[in-house]
Amino acid sequence: MVLRLSLNRLVAVLAVAVILVFAVTISTSILSQASVGRIVSDLENRLLPVRDKSSQLALAYVNQETGLRGFLLTADPVTLEPYNFGTAEAERLVAELRTELSRTPDGGGLVNLFEDVVATADTWREQAAEPQIAAQLFGSRTQKQLSQIVLDGKELFDKLRERARALDTRIETLMAEGLERLRSVQRAAKLVQYSAAAALVVVIAGIVTIMVRMVNRPVARLVSDIGAVADGVYDSPIGGAGPNEVRVISTAVGAMRDSLIEAKKKQEAEKERFESVVGKTPSAVSVRDSQHRYTMVNAAFCQLFGYESTKEIIGRTEDEILPPEVLHRSRIAVPRLLAGDTSVEEESIQLGPDHALFVTHRFPLRNAAGAITEMVTIRTDITDSKKAEQEAAERAKWQDLVATAISEGRLLVYSQPIVDIATRETVEEELLLRLRTAGAEEILPPSAFLPQCEQHGLMPVIDPYMVGRAIELARNGRDVSVNITGQTICDATAIKKIIEALAAAGPNVADRIIFEITETTALASPAMAKAFSTSMSGLGCRMALDDFGTGYGTFTELRHLDLYALKIDQSFVRDMLKDPDAERVVNTIVAVARVYGLTTIAEGIESQEVLERLSDMGVDLAQGYFFGRPAPVGT
């Protein structure tokens, strides 16, 4: 049925098919870009400003509460400056957020949460803060009334924190939903582009096959005086002499020749359009003939194998272009392609010092007679997707390892004593983690598994477990310190578990627990560190700043934390007797702690000489192998 169509009509139909596929691809790309633009605009121009101002508003409320607390403790009006500044800042941010929220996605839900925050803040200020200030300034309340107002104010401010967290959580949820929509649009656009490229390959292959069949057979029937046309030389004159039948044939052949010339032009135009589309695909596409000479490659193929343009490759063989290992795999696939089969395989290709992973599709192209004349290879880079799969599998492995270790009691808690330098009595214990291997008695140090746990984000599972053990020990009358990582501090679910466990244990237990965060963590996430410090202090726990002196910060930057102690990093303590600079650092830390009324704890004590020098410098507590190595906590 196809052969009975006129040449012009056939070419037109095929051209329309190519144009339609191309138009669908372009339209989809434009729509995808528009969708991406809208989503990015919502995130950048609406949700991000709302999130930033919401965080600023929460900080303004905390400044009010901080200023109020300072004024109640000191009765100095100067300490009300944070309260007044926070009040003014909150009023400004409330007005701006009302405007911003009216333009945000899910505006109604956010507005309700926001107005709930504002109403709670107003209630706290009117019913608690201002009465407390008035009572302190003018003595208009009895001590009992003032104490009740302070207690009510704390409850109101806790409600304010809860509502502010609910607002922040909803904003983060909307941002996550926007990012997921963005990724979904991009995935759909890529799928359409890849499908269109494959469709174009099939359509153009059909064009080439059909055109060859419709041209060669008529030319084969012509007599010797039109042999030039039979050989495909369309600009040669066609003889018109002879009988009328010959003239009729000559005229018909002339018309046919003109049609073939026009068809050839259209075929070349379609091929150029096809190569233009294929040239824009990120996959490396190549077509080679039966002698393994390249007849077509795209820009991605050139880039993959280190060539600047397709002109450097067209007409050359695989042996000249491909690296040895890639050439070997290509030649192995040739028998299958010549038999009419297709192949799909994963292929590793070295790109400089690295290797990239590709999915390689190979399939044959046939001519009008059904013979295989060319072979197509399409290589799609899947390095990033494979890496993501491997990382996900590694994370799942470590998640299972940690969960199994906890359930089987193989995640062990050790402790190391912390000693009062003056009395040489143990006053605290630092809890440390060890892992017993499955089916063996080998005890692994933290360096053998904690870096991997941190890499895969598992500390919000491990840290609450350690807090649970700390609570058990504190119930038995032991003062213990436990390390909290930045991952856990930034994980709302983990912090909620810790707060609930401490609240259930009660203040008598919480008072025996000290949380240690590193100076680096405090500097990296100051807002989160402050919120954690405030929450723990409210429950009765104490806070120590670990590894102090190594975080490239100053105590001025950290003074917003509610601290009990500074732990001097062992790198300074260990070298202080032979390194004057290290000794000066220790002296400076002791001086800072003394000014702020903090306890100092020196780590890494291994000799009597170092201990005596620390005692002379005024260090309060000490920890190290000199007093004892880490050992199982027991019961």
List, as one string, the DSSP characters of 545-602: EEEETSSS--HHHHTTS--SEEEEPHHHHHHTTT-HHHHHHHHHHHHHHHHTT-EEEE
The model's pLDDT over 208-263, given as tens digits with 9 standing for 90+, comes to: 565 545 444 444 455 665 666 666 676 666 766 666 666 677 677 677 767 767 76
pLDDT at position 220: 46
- Give the number of residues written for the chain: 635
What is the number of alpha carbons within 13 Å of residue 427 lying toward its C-beta? 14
Q: What is the pLDDT of residue 121?
A: 87
Structure tokens at 326: 């890639």
Assigned token pair, 373 = 């004349």
DSSP state of 2: G
| Residues 124-182 pLDDT 10s | 888 888 888 887 777 766 667 667 767 777 888 888 888 888 878 888 888 788 788 87
Q: Which residues contact 120 (CB under 8 A, 6 or more apart)?
A: 156, 159, 160, 163
Give 247-256 pLDDT, tens digit per residue. Answer: 677 677 677 7
Share of the chain above pLDDT 70, in %: 78
10: pLDDT strictly greater than 70: no
Cα 544–546–551 angle (5° rounding)? 130
Give the tens place of pLDDT for each residue, 304-332. 888 888 888 899 998 888 888 888 888 88
List beta partners, residue 517.
545
